[in-house]
Amino acid sequence: MIEREEFLKIMNRIEKQHKRDMAFSKALSECCDNIVNLEWNKSLDALLLLAKETIDPDEWINWFFFDNSNHEIINGDEQIIVDTHEKLYEFLTSEYTHVPKMIKKATFLEILKLQKEQDEASWKLVRAIENYIDCQYAIPSDSYHEALMILIANTFDFGETYSYWLYEDGKSVGVGGKEFDISTPVKLYNFIAQEFKEYGGKKPERVVDPNAKTVTMEEMFELMKQQILKNHGLC
């Protein structure tokens, strides 16, 4: 299981985006003849897919946010109340014995595909909004994507090669004086899978350089946002 702090970051971001989508859906529905539903997106699909294969095999995260009404879990004669992010973490850690394993190649490629589809869909929506209202440009906000990237970094991509490939257009990476080709999704997967094996399936402890500048999660996602804008020719 991933660390509690990282799990809570993921849950907080899911909750944040869910509330944002609900508010946006309501506002759009009031302006349209039909009900508009923005509760689901491909980043969330990818997140739940990865969670199912790694930390949440019975899809309790999906249940917590989207399928339940009373947050009660019946386990034999026992009634368990799971109404907070912390309680869900405790339930998952008690329910499942976590055995670190690299995700399947098909899952990895599906996550990439879903992220690309969501990125394209988000920018179509942004351009539509820009054409409707008077603004220079809008920036799509997707906390589901942020949650997905946190889960990726804490379940299989311990060297953060995935984010390097995704945001910095990385074509190769140097390790131990050798250069490895990661120019395609399959080559990227093969490299990360090999790294995962060498790490023993466990996220290594970070050695903090006292002279290095610490970048917060918010600063990192701002850098990601700027890279996305750059890729779409908006800065």
The CA–CA distances, whole Å, from 133 to 126, 130, 137, 138 equal 11, 5, 10, 10
- Is residue 194 assigned to a domain? no
- Is residue 122 assigned to a domain? yes
Segment (H or E) for 189: helix 185-198
Fill in the amino acid letter for 118: Q
What pLDDT, in 10s, does the model give residues 133-171? 666 656 667 899 999 999 999 999 998 999 999 888 889
> Residue 191 and residue 200: Cα distance in Å, rounded?
14
Which position has the higher pLDDT, 119 or 26?
119
- Is residue 132 assigned to a domain? yes
- Which of 13-17, 27-31, 205-209 is predicted least confidently? 205-209
When pLDDT is cut at 50, 70 and 90, the band that residue 76 belongs to is confident
Is residue 212 pLDDT above 60, yes or no?
Answer: no
Section 20-47 average pLDDT: 74
Contacts of 200 (CB under 8 A, 6+ apart): 100
| Residue-range definition of the domain harbouring residue 117 | 4-156+205-231
pLDDT score recorded for residue 186:
97
pLDDT score recorded for residue 7:
96
- Is residue 184 assigned to a domain? no
Is residue 228 pLDDT above 70, yes or no?
Answer: no
pLDDT score recorded for residue 165:
93
Count up the domains in the chain and report the number.
Answer: 1
- Is residue 136 assigned to a domain? yes
What pLDDT, in 10s, does the model give residues 78-101? 888 999 999 999 999 998 887 889
pLDDT score recorded for residue 167:
86
- Is residue 94 assigned to a domain? yes
What pLDDT, in 10s, does the model give residues 95-110? 888 788 999 999 999 9
pLDDT score recorded for residue 103:
96
Closest to 20 in 3D by CA, of 38, 34, 33? 38
Q: What is the mean pLDDT of the chain?
A: 83
Which position has the higher pLDDT, 207 or 104?
104
What pLDDT, in 10s, does the model give residues 57-70? 999 999 999 886 78
- Is residue 176 assigned to a domain? no
What pLDDT, in 10s, does the model give residues 176-190? 889 999 999 999 999
> Residue 9 and residue 26: Cα distance in Å, rounded?
26
Section 113-133 average pLDDT: 80
- Is residue 179 assigned to a domain? no
pLDDT score recorded for residue 210:
55
pLDDT score recorded for residue 53:
94
